[in-house]
Amino acid sequence: MSSEDAAPDPYATPLVFGQRLQILRERRGMSRQVLAGLVAMSASWVKRVENGQLQTPGLDMILQIAEVLRVSNLAELTGRKSMPIALFTGPGHPRLAAVADAVNRFPVGSQSAPAPSPTHIRARLARAWAARHSAPNHREVIGSLLPGLITDAQLSVRQANSAVQRRAAQASLSEVYSLSQFFLAYQPDASLLWRVAERGIVAAQESEDPHTIGVAAWLTGQAHRDSGPHHYDAADEVNLATLRFLEPMLNEAADDVRAITGALQFEVGYTAARRGETGTAWRYWDSAREIAEALPADYYHPVTSFSRAIMGAHAVTIAVELHSGTESVRQAAQAEAAAIPSRPRRARHRIEQARGYHLDGQPDVALATLAHAYEAAPETIQYNGYARRIVLEETEAKAPARRRRACELAARIGLLRT
């Protein structure tokens, strides 16, 4: 193919917004019709923007388009180098390099040091999950623990002396990779996240443990869904295949297996909501709620947060993903954040509530809710693209008081670093 036939680089030349939009859309293999549906506009509107017949849309619409196209830097879409805001990839955490080194290291051969006992590794994992749920700076906490856990869990697998020991060690290793995915989400190293997800699935399958397999599938399905609309089918395949594997066991299953089944049911509904499939989304939410109601009242899954307490938060997410502002606010009013014991999960719920208020045209309430999210877990809001988008938009609000509050929050979460 000649150089003239190659697709132009959207930021190598001073292209206008519409041209950049068309190039980035086509690079993702997305039709105008699909893009239009995802931003609640018409295909003809997209065509007119791309052709320059309409002016560049406002910041709110630009941010919606950036979200749909998974544009990590607004400068790619706008051409304005003064807007290098990474929306969906947060700043690299100071502990990322150490975690990456532990993941990428590939020790082979015999090891002189004996592996920690499986009981010891599981106790460390339990402490790590507890710390993640209780610490406001949860990424810092688990980032400090992961390098040692990854190394020791790998060593435990290599030194296992029997098939039973090896399966147990693989289950622990898979869980360590699951914990790693929580740290790596929204970090500027997508390939590392996928490497960990794939290793977690392989270790889970080697463990032959239903709960471990369910957790690894839950995280892999999320990774697919968050990769964009063209990966929704892959997310469904992972989730539905795992549900077909788990559901025949439910009558005799332990609480953890039932909980991961409920969590997977919700994930199918979540993906359906992303597609705009209202009936399917709420049907799977109902199925998940039935499982949650059958669990003990105080049960709380240590990885997925699945529980009775989380179903209200899940309802807010479904309504928000369906772009229903009124329903989002209604669900947000019913869901009690204080009932969620995990600080990062409580902060995530506050962010979902803020999205609902923003959809409903209540930006002041949205900003106040994001402030509550920051109080619960600052690192959650710092790395969440939706929260960053709302705050960034409101820094240009016409109302001076709102603009000031948004700028103050933006400075706290690191959006306005100079």
The share of the chain scoring above pLDDT 90, in percent, equals: 62
Do the two domains 17-78 and 309-418 of this chain adopt the same fold? Answer: no
The size of the chain, in residues, is: 418
> How far from 335 is each of 5, 154, 203, CA to CA, in Å?
54, 40, 36
- Give domain limits for the chain: 17-78, 309-418
Mean pLDDT of 281-293: 98
**What band does 83 get if pLDDT is binned at 50, 70 and 90?**
low
Q: Which residue has the tokens 């998940």?
A: 288
pLDDT at 226 over 90: no
Question: What CATH number labels 309-418?
Answer: 1.25.40
Each residue's pLDDT tens digit, 253-273: 999 999 999 999 999 999 999
Residue 230 has pLDDT above 90, yes or no: no
How far apart, in whole angstroms, are the C-alpha atoms of residue 180 and residue 346? 20
Q: Using the structure block, give the residue that is written with the tokens 């190293």.
A: 189
Give, in words, the CATH class of 17-78: mainly alpha
pLDDT at 418: 36
Using only C-alpha atoms, the chain has a radius of gyration, in whole angstroms, of 22
pLDDT tens readout for residues 291-305: 999 999 999 999 999
Residue 40, Cβ neighbours under 10 Å: how many? 11
**Average predicted confidence (pLDDT) for the chain:** 88
Q: What is the mean predicted confidence (pLDDT) over 157-180?
A: 95
Contacts of 268 (CB under 8 A, 6+ apart): 236, 239, 240, 243, 280, 284
Are 402 and 204 in contact, with CB atoms under 8 Å apart?
Answer: no
CB-CB neighbours of 33 under 10 Å: 12
Task: Answer whether 124's CB lies under 8 Å from 149's CB.
Answer: yes
Lowest mean pLDDT among 30-34, 68-72, 143-147, 310-314: 68-72
What is the CA angle 370-372-377, rounded to 5?
Answer: 95
The pLDDT assigned to 4 comes to: 38
Q: Compute the distance between CA of residue 326 and CA of residue 334 in angstroms, rounded to an integer.
A: 13
Of 10-14, 146-150, 398-402, least confident by mean pLDDT is 10-14
Helix (H, G, I), strand (E, B) or coil at 86: strand
Nearest alpha carbon to residue 114 among 59, 155, 69: 155
- Lowest model confidence (mean pLDDT) among 67-76, 98-107, 142-151, 358-367: 67-76
Residue type for 105, please?
A: R
Q: Give the pair of three-digit tokens for residue 335.
A: 């869901």
338-355 pLDDT, tens per residue?
789 999 999 999 999 999
